Structure 1
Amino acid sequence: MTASFAVVTVTYSSGDYLHNFLRTLTRASRETPEVIIADNGSTDGAPEQAAADHDNVTLVHTGGNIGYGGAVNRGVAQIDEDIEFVVVANPDVEWSEGAIDGLLEAARRWPRAASLGPLITEPDGTVYPSARRVPDLISGTGHAVLGTVWKSNPWTAAYRNDDADLTERPVGWLSGSCLLLRRAAFDAIGGFDSRYFMFMEDVDLGDRLGRSGWLNVFVPSVSVMHAKSHSVSRHPEKMIPAHHASAYRFTADRNPGPLRAPIRLALRAGLAVRSKIAVAAALREQRRTGGPA
């Protein structure tokens, strides 16, 4: 019997992370879904090995590193349109028992939910703030410019939704590292915006789903573990500027017109300075430890 969902993951030399992703996926649901690996130019052979080892895995080469959102869109396009739900997850996710079945049950409780996300923990057990508010001009700018140098600032706290309880509820957006998406809603808004190479594509997706009348629902009764940002730690000189460029795009897109041009210019300048500082700090940490920061 055809599964009620399919899985899409994006790889970029993900190595053993992909192996653990597929190994633990078998315990996440009673169903055996089709898995699409959208590969952005891996050189480690892991996607090819995964496709050879698993009958339910299909490898799709995107033709180069086209970014996370664009690769997800390419993967989703390979899935039969009759499949109601698509799980989109990073290859460095490890699944807990019944995780996807739990998200599917929540989707039936929330028929207007376009995206549903679990509680996400890091390898040390820390809870990652994966369910957040959509940033407005003030909170978004405050967090973007000051988030790394003044971590307790009120704009970052508001953006991260730090004071929220771990209860099942609609939120502004959910981390794209692990999402259950209702295919009809995802297709209706055109999927991820491929202009975002990496980072903020999930904020943009959640915001556009909300503006279209759908809900983004946080389901903390379900949890997964995410060994986050292994690509960032390996390549901070590329990933950190990409993050800042995406932050600018999101805010600029929502504040168009000549009257707000000075705000956009100030934001671009502030983010450029912050990006250079963050890259320098990450590279210093790499040199100090002899490996990724």
Structure 2
Amino acid sequence: MAELRGPDAQRAEGGRTVSLDSATAPDISVSIVNWNTRSDLLECLSSLIPRECRRLPSGCVFQAGGVFCDVTVVDNNSQDFSADAVQSLFPVVRLLRMDRNLGFAAGHNRAFAAARGRYRFVLNPDATVSAGCLKALLDFAEAHPRAAVIGPRVLNPDGSIQHSARAFPTLMAALYRHSILGRLFPDNPHTRRYLQSDWDHRDSRQVDWVSGSAMLIREEALRELGGFDERYYMYVEDVDLCWRARQAGWEVWFCADAEVTHKKARASDLMPNRMIYHHHRSMYIFYRTHYRPRAGVLERLITPPGLVLRAAYFIGRNKLHGWLRKGE
């Protein structure tokens, strides 16, 4: 990953800006990768940036809830005028326009390279942060110096818990979640363990991995790990990052005091079959990189064709439903 640099910045306190020298960094640099989710993105930025700070110069460091931060949006060549809307309504945002869709991992790595925060907060454009979220994450990170990655409590729009902190996937969990076994035995222990379903998410604890829809990453760990693995176009890059962090001796935590609301799969809904392909491709990359070297013969035999068959099933089902709708 490129050296993490950024231009000289300013702090904004209320509506007043105070110049900073180049050695001063924000507490948290927020990183958002967008692709054709204009209305969600604007709602996300509204939850992050105080109204009086929105028209400050690009890349300016502003204060939000007691935390000094800046925001970078990487726009992956959206066609819905997302980037123009951000530039018009939120000039304070550091806007990086890509000439093609780089995907999630590569997009965030571009944002990481442009920002200078002591922590990086990866946030989906279809998510909004609650009041005090960034301060709670910052305080938690300062109190846990070996925490490389920290995930907030993630809620669905109806207020229910989203399973954003999970155990690493296993072959048995995959079999039950992605086959008829899951329908026959929905309350099986393998799925419950993977989703951490027996936990009410009201207490903070160490976990295997947290969702990339909202995760705070310590800059020191980010440098050591090299950012997201860009082989993952979309999906599973968060699992991979947490896996590598834990293998390197870092900790991954769930912070119950910070809350984010996530609409879930908004950009993915625009091209479902393409996302199905990338999801399964990413699962295979993760399996090949981290599991295959220690997998047994049976697991090596059934995992690759199993992923291909599952992807083909869902893509075929989507196409069939599309044809049936056209015939109505």
Shared fold per TM-score greater than 0.5: yes
Secondary structure of the residue aligned to 1:252 is helix
1:232 to 268, 279, 285: 268
Structure 1 counterpart of 2:194 = 159
Choose the corresponding residue for 1:4, options 5, 20, 27. 27
Measured in 2, the distance between the counterparts of 1:23 and 1:202 equals: 25
Q: Is the 8 A contact 1:36 1:60 kept in 2?
A: yes
1:267 paired residue number: 303
Q: 1:257 to 1:54 in 2, by over 3 A?
A: closer
- TM-score w.r.t. the length of structure 1 is 0.89
Would the alpha carbon gap of residues 198 and 145 (structure 1) be closer, same or farther in structure 2, given more than 3 Å must change?
farther
Inter-partner Cα distance in structure 2 for 1:232 and 1:287: 20
Q: In the alignment, is the contact (CA less than 8 A) between 1:231 and 1:239 conserved in 2?
A: no
Partner SS state of residue 55, structure 1: coil
Q: Residue 181 of structure 1: CA displacement?
A: 0.9
Residue 151 (structure 2) aligns with:
117
Gapped runs of 5+ residues in structure 1?
none
Contact 2:72–2:95 (CA under 8 A) maintained in structure 1: yes
Asked whether 1:97 is paired with 2:131, we answer yes
CA distance in 1, matches of 2:267, 2:181: 21
| Offset of residue 289 of structure 1 | 8.3
Post-superposition offset of 1:278: 2.2
Q: Is the 8 A contact 1:99 1:222 kept in 2?
A: yes
TM-score by length of 2: 0.80
Paired position in structure 2 for 1:106: 140
Of the structure 1 ranges 147-156 and 239-248, higher mean CA displacement relative to structure 2 is found in 147-156
Match for residue 48 of structure 1?
Answer: 84
**CA drift at 1:288:** 7.8
The letter for the 2-side match of 1:92 is D
Larger radius of gyration: 2
Counterpart AA for 1:121 = L
Report how many residues are paired: 288
- Specify whether residues 252 and 152 from structure 1 end up closer, same or farther in structure 2 by C-alpha distance, changes over 3 A only: farther
Instruction: Specify which of 97, 105, 109 is matched with residue 69 of structure 1.
Output: 105
Tell me the secondary structure at the aligned position of residue 26 of structure 2: coil
Structure 2 stretches lacking a partner, 5+ long: 1-10, 12-24, 51-63
Q: Distance in 2 between matches of 1:126 and 1:47?
A: 31
Aligned to 1:88: 122
- Deviation of the 1:90 alpha carbon: 0.4
Give the share of equivalent positions with the same residue, in percent: 31
Q: Write the distance in 2 (CA, Å) between the matches of 1:259 and 1:93.
A: 36
